[in-house]
Amino acid sequence: MELMSRVERHKVSQSKLPTVLISLGTSVLFLAMIYFMLVYVQIPDSLAFRQTLQISLFFSSILFLGLYLLAFIFVSTKKFNQTEEKVARVNLYIVILWVLSLLYHFILWLAHDTVIIPYYYYGGLALTWGVLLLTLVHFFAYFSFVRRDIRAQAKANDLGNRRHAYEMLKRIFYMYQIIHELMNKDAEVKHMMKWNHFDEKLEQMFLEVEPYIHTLSFNREDLEHILGIKAWMDNLLMIIEQHPLHHDLYKKINM
């Protein structure tokens, strides 16, 4: 129990590590943006410029909010293999911040005659840049989630193909053994196999599937090849079954 709890704690800590790093990186980048704005960005005292700035930021907030909602409403309709689909949904906090941003700029635009302190405008820029940064981080997290989901789907498909291939290989080896036993016990079956060159074909088929024993990854061509060999051996057993002594052969094999 103690060992399991340690493993679980390790998994939880490993899963939280990327989130902590992203949050830390976002905070550092936001502080760097604030420093850059305060040191290098100068807002002129022109009333017309400040009005234009606020109305531009107002419509920019509306535009980014609309694009954000449209993007993640569309994304939320998709199905994912992973259970953690929260990152693929609209973040309510980001929506609220965009609404606050557009309201802030709209109110500041209306009150341009009374607001003369430039820090109000710097605060509006910081708010908009911060929400934009959070929006970009959400998109980045979503694309990372999609990449992990694609990898998980590929891994699941690979495991499914491997399981299906091994089941067919097991069936092929079993039928190969049955056919050889029949050839050793029944001279007529052996004669029929040699007369139609089925014995040579059988060995050729076996040599073709033998390398797949140590294969860990199977693509569609591999599965189709193995399936073709399995179908050929099934047909061969059905031919042998037509002999009066082996009329129930196929039924016994499938039991």
pLDDT in tens, 103-160: 988 888 887 666 567 777 888 888 888 889 889 888 888 888 888 888 888 888 888 8
Q: Is the pLDDT of residue 223 over 70?
A: yes
**CB neighbour list of residue 115: distance below 8 Å, 6 or more residues apart:** 108, 121
Amino acid type, 225: H
pLDDT of the residue at 13: 45
pLDDT of the residue at 95: 92
> If we measure between CA atoms, which residue out of 68, 116, 108, 74 comes closest to residue 92?
68
In the predicted model, what is the mean pLDDT of residues 69-76?
Answer: 85
Q: Is the pTM of this model over 0.75?
A: no
What's the token pair of residue 129?
Answer: 């840049």
* Tokens 């022109």, located at residue: 46
Query: Which parts of 186-214 fold into alpha helices (H)?
Result: 187-195, 198-209
Residue 242, phi then psi, degrees to nearest 5: -70, -15
What's the token pair of residue 15?
Answer: 């899963």
> If we measure between CA atoms, which residue out of 10, 30, 34 comes closest to residue 22?
30
